[in-house]
A and B are shown apart, each in its own frame.
Chain A
Amino acid sequence: MAPTPCQLCHTARALVKRPKTGQQVCKTCFFEVFETEVHNTIVEGNGIFRRGERVAIGASGGKDSTVLAHVLTMLNHRYDYGLDLFLLSIDEGITGYRDDSLETVKQNQVEYGLPLKILSYNDLYGWTMDRIVEQVGRRNNCTFCGVFRRQALDRGAAQLAVDHIVTGHNADDIAETVLMNIMRGDVARLGRCTAVTTQSEDTIKRSKPFKYAYEKEIVMYAYFKKLTYFSTECIYSPDAYRGHARVFLKDLEAIRPSAIIDIIHSGESFVLDQNTQKGMKAMQTCLRCGYMSSNDLCKACALLQGLESGMDRSALHQKQGGDTAAPSGHRTIPKYERHAHVPVSAEAGGGAEGIDTPLKALAIS
């Protein structure tokens, strides 16, 4: 086959077929359009960043967060966002999995010159995932890991006094989450999971600058830029349900690449009606550790209590009584405190999370 010329510069040889547009582009133009699109996601509307903001990149050592660290460092410089960037990693305590990927994050720290903070489940909760799996088995361990990771990221961000956490979730991940929320009937999360930025009063702002970046392009970018990333399956991972959703999505994408963006649009178009909103619990703080919670105890404290009591089932199903003091001898989570950094410019009152934001389209009844 004769080499195809790039459809943008018309001179160099095309090396990538963009999944979103079908456009055939050369390496240089590919970098250019990829970076520009991420920049557009960042500045769209009011923009996700404020000048002077301290921003933590949730870094796992995997492809998405590695490419995010690379691209954000570059864009911050190129467009002068004025951000203070940090790398924030969570060590779940999974031997042979997280050890290696943390090595990669440490390498990224050097390559991009970003300060790195690593928080471990062991330090925070007194339990590693290895030990949790030993106790609860492989069925429910993803629940523990998910709850613990989310809270660990917030706590790490609070310790770094950052205003904002960005994660490497890409378009494929978001489409997958939309599907998962539909399959779980979790309508409340549908709109929110597609938002580039979410923030409620007490939580640290979170954003997904790769919302419109296809996984294929992220991997191609990492490959052509020869970025150091680590890739292996979590040894405890089999979240079979999510796995099926993922394969289903890849099959759809192979037939029609726009499926990814179409599913994200579907998620965006769902709107909560008033009754559903009222049914949602107001946020308070955990009476034991001070973290945001919709119950007296936050999910992490409830799960930890279950672990400490030697239960082999998710403590989430436990009845939460008024007993908020941990049973004696039980490990507890350190008090959560936000030392919020005060941004130079006044924070626009974006207190709205997906739930409050009036969305377009029709209400589902």
Chain B
Amino acid sequence: MAQSIASGSSSNGLGYSSKREIATEELVVEKSGGKAGGKGEDELEIRIEFGGGLHLLFSQQPRHTVHLPRHTPSPAASSDPSPEPTASEAADNHPATMRDLIRHMKRTILSEREEMFGEGDGVRPGILVLINDADWELEGELEYELKDRDEVVFISTLHGG
């Protein structure tokens, strides 16, 4: 799984290019659920890449892979324990969306200064998001339903001219 990063070319259009960084760059696989790097049947594997200096907030690593549950309990269902055992448990779970991914990232891989990354449920204005190379504004932004092996890129435009 931990496929090696195509190195050599430092051109990535993401705003980091020093050789030092490329040399030490490794896929950071978040250790969750006990098994380091392992992915359960009920999990999605999502590749994340940071640009524009955002990796500084994520343990200085521009690339991460996270594992996210395919379904997340809907906020309404979890905060409102209805007395009757729900007829369709699946209905109370929603497929994981970008909103869930961002929440997951803040909990697991964000290493510092959360306010530089997140705002409310989403990301700070000035941070661009691409899902599989498409502007997330075309993909439903926070409502986008993640698929296994989706690639999500976050690029800060907030500094650096």
How many residues on A have C-beta within 8 angstroms of the other chain's C-beta atoms?
Answer: 44
Q: Which of B16, B138, B139, B159 contacts A233 (CB 8 A)?
A: B159
CB–CB B13/A16 < 8 A: no
The answer for the CA separation of A16 and B129 in the assembled complex, in Å, is 11
The answer for the CA separation of A264 and B1 in the assembled complex, in Å, is 49
Interface residues of B in 127-154 (CB under 8 A from A): 128, 130, 133-135, 137-140, 144, 153
A210-230 Cβ-contact flags toward B at 8 Å (1 or 0): 000001100110111111111
| Residues on B with beta carbons closer than 8 Å to the beta carbon of A253 | 125
CB–CB B144/A1 < 8 A: yes
B85 within 8 A of A: no
Interface residues of B in 1-35 (CB under 8 A from A): 10-19
A104 within 8 A of B: yes
- The number of chain B residues touching the other chain, given as a range, is 35 or more
B160 within 8 A of A: yes
| Residues on B with beta carbons closer than 8 Å to the beta carbon of A254 | 125
Interface residues of A in 181-224 (CB under 8 A from B): 215-216, 219-220, 222-224
The answer for the CA separation of A250 and B127 in the assembled complex, in Å, is 9
The answer for the CA separation of A173 and B160 in the assembled complex, in Å, is 11
B48 within 8 A of A: no
**Interchain Cβ contacts under 8 Å between A and B, 30 examples:** A1-B144, A13-B134, A16-B135, A17-B137, A62-B161, A63-B157, A103-B17, A103-B19, A107-B17, A173-B161, A216-B157, A219-B52, A219-B128, A222-B13, A223-B13, A224-B133, A226-B12, A227-B13, A228-B10, A228-B13, A230-B16, A231-B14, A231-B51, A231-B53, A231-B156, A250-B125, A250-B158, A251-B125, A253-B125, A254-B125
Q: Could you list 4 further interchain pairs (A-B, Cβ under 8 angstroms) beyond the known A65-B161, A223-B14?
A: A60-B161, A216-B157, A228-B11, A228-B13
